[in-house]
Structure 1
Amino acid sequence: MNDFEKEWAIHEYICRNVVYDYDNYYNGTIPRDSYTHHSLLFKGVGVCGGYSKTMKLLLDMAKIECMQVYEEEHAWNMAKMDGNWYQLDVTWNDNNTLVGEYDCEYFNITDLQMSQDHTWSAEEYPKCNNEQYMYLCQSMKYQEMLSGYSKVVDDCIYYIDTDYNLYYTIIDGADKGLIVDSEVEKNFYVLDNQVY
């Protein structure tokens, strides 16, 4: 796996297996544990601090340079791909109360995009202005993506939309399109560029 595939797999793992601790958040009773990677990895629940710590821990383990970004009431990450930094907010991508429902609007985006609804002391962090990996989730129909049903194989992401159509997107942006426009099984496999 290349670094992007590792980052995508970690992002997807967290989003598939964790829910935001909304109950405690709304009641003002967030336990300290919800801010830790322990809670996310072993209990499947947490808040932004736990999400960003877990993303950093797992990216560090995958030997991908990563840092946490803090604002007054939120935390997220920056990750370095091919020498360039990107903004990454796994908490806001995992924006549903159901395990496994997520999107990728805040996956490898620029400072300009992130600044639309996030604030931080930009001078304290590396600049994120490269768009090489930014287009990826924008080219995928992430608003219509059936959450949790995507696979990275070689240089391609295969995913199913809410109408059960199977799409692909080449990671470098060279190509994308529809593979099957009918009721695709949720459990699909890709082997030697063939979909089963």
Structure 2
Amino acid sequence: MLKVKKKALWITTITFFLIIQTVYYWEGKIGIFAIPITIALFISYLILFFLLILQITALVKEKFKDKQRIYISSTLLIVLILTACFPWGIIDFEKFEGKDVLIAGWTGAANCTTTLKFKENGEVYKRVNCFGIRKVNCNYYVKNDTIFFVKDDDLNIEDQYQFAIIGKSTLSFNNKDGLYLFKTKNDTLPHQLIIVYNKLALKKRYKN
């Protein structure tokens, strides 16, 4: 029975570690389940911490004679420390997406946040945090003063834009530029984001 419990703790520890390390790949696919899953992972962390205390207590009583308990306690300790230091994983997978050339975002009602990151390799990544997490990406290219998005039928309508321009932001209080996203050329109410980083060689089209 004791061996079964130790095996279960091994499996739980490794599974928890793998889930944390692969957050980048699954967080954008779970939508509204992001919050309950995050809460579940936090509770799991606390449970594992409590189990670590029990393991250490048992080791002290046994005078550190149980090698298997030493191994699992050491592994559990390392996993908990790494999770505390790197809650989104040890490896920053976003770095592999490419170098950022333009970043724009906005936090709206209910603290919902939208962020667009344009990469040097011609890809753009969109992340929406609003009662869950949604992540999508597509391609773009620049022509004169306009960013054109390559049409991708796999994207939801809400994530599809035809083009974008840079203009003076009406949302910023410190005169930052805004990124205006248009669904069509006849779009009179473009989606606006505030530009927080811009190294993109793009002419600015300011509106009065």
Smaller-chain TM-score bracket: under 0.3
Q: Which structure shows the bigger proportion of residues in helix conformation?
A: 2
**TM-score between both structures, scaled by the size of structure 1:** 0.24
Q: Which has the higher contact order (CA 8 A, sep 6+)?
A: 2
Q: Give TM-score, length-normalised by structure 2.
A: 0.23
